[in-house]
Amino acid sequence: MKFTGRNVFVDPTATIGKDVRIGDNTTIYPNVQIGDRTVIANDCVIGEPLSDYYTNSSYSQPKTIIGSDCLIRSHTVIYSSTTIGSHFSCGHRVTIRESASFGNHCRIGTMSDIQGDCSVGSYVWLHSNVHIGQQSRIGDFVFIYPFVVLTNDPYPPSSELIGVEIEAFAQISTGARLMPGITVHEHALVGANALVTKDVTSFSCVVGNPARHVKDVREIKFKDGATAYPWPLRFERGMPWEGIGFERWKLQRQDQ
């Protein structure tokens, strides 16, 4: 069953799953696939055509896939050839350009801009006003906080794009800027407003402009002396280890 609001256009070639809800003034373009129980709110565009659509009479619309149990809030635009896994959610006025791929259980905050041709793992949280440049690669369980920018042009303006790579469990704090080609390795912590101009090693905490290593994240303590990192040992809300703990979850994962 499909529940649609007022002034909704759904192309006949689109595949709409069970119990999908589509809000007012939303457009679903050709060759879009939407999974069961997904909610598309008001004034959204799903499967926005590529630029050739407007100039090329033989344009062929690529497939766009939205997984099951997703929540896409108002005024979001998702371009064609994007693939999004299940249990995705986003805030308002999010833009996801073409050829972007997301795993499962991802979150994107309001006004974030995903410039396409990039890959994002599962359980990735991008907070509001995050800019992800083309060619970016983001691993699983990465948190990126507001006003972070991932750049990709080493000699602007140029036609050479070198994306940023962020490995699993890394944390990128508010206002950080990552320069083209940088790799932030597993469990690293990039401090607020840092300008990252070279690779960040695993478990490293970097701060400043330019960013410099200050300590191993495992040395960071709370005021009561408890160890703050690795963060999965103390934080589980919305994570697959919620209720069982990170270490037990890792063991179960290894046994599968």
Taking only the tens place, the pLDDT of each residue in 75-108 is 999 999 999 999 999 999 999 999 999 999 999 9
Query: Mean pLDDT over residues 13-18, rounded?
Result: 96
The 3-state DSSP class for residue 35 equals coil
58 within domain boundaries: yes
What's the pLDDT at 65?
98
What's the pLDDT at 254?
84
238 within domain boundaries: no
**Predicted confidence band of residue 237 (pLDDT cuts 50, 70, 90):** very high
The 3-state DSSP class for residue 223 equals coil
Q: pLDDT per residue over 141-161, tens digit each?
A: 999 999 999 999 999 999 999
43 within domain boundaries: yes
Domain of 103? 1-111
Query: Mean pLDDT over residues 46-66, rounded?
Result: 95
103 within domain boundaries: yes
One-character DSSP codes across 69-108 = S-EE-TT-EEETT-EE-TT-EE-SS-EE-TTEEE-SS-EE
190 within domain boundaries: no
Q: Which of 200, 168, 165 is nearest to 180 (CA)?
A: 165
154 within domain boundaries: no
pLDDT at 1 over 60: no
Q: Give me 173's structure tokens.
A: 């704090």
Average pLDDT, the chain: 96
The CATH number linked to 78 is 2.160.10.10
Residue 175 Ramachandran class (φ > 0 left, ψ -120 to 50 alpha, else beta): left
Query: Mean pLDDT over residues 162-184, rounded?
Result: 98
What's the pLDDT at 253?
86
216 within domain boundaries: no
How many structural domains compose the chain?
1
Q: pLDDT per residue over 23-38, tens digit each?
A: 999 999 999 999 999 9
Peptide linkage before 157 cis (omega within 30 of 0): yes
What global pTM score does this model have? Answer: 0.95
pLDDT at 2 over 90: no
Give the torsion through C-alpha atoms of 129, 229, 254, 85, to 10 deg: -10
Query: Mean pLDDT over residues 226-245, rounded?
Result: 96
Q: What is the spatial distance between Cα 198 and Cα 211, in angstroms, rounded to a whole number?
A: 8
251 within domain boundaries: no
Q: Which of 100, 29, 153 is nearest to 90 (CA)?
A: 100
CB neighbours of 204 closer than 8 A, spacing ≥ 6?
185, 188, 189, 213, 216, 217
pLDDT at 71 over 60: yes
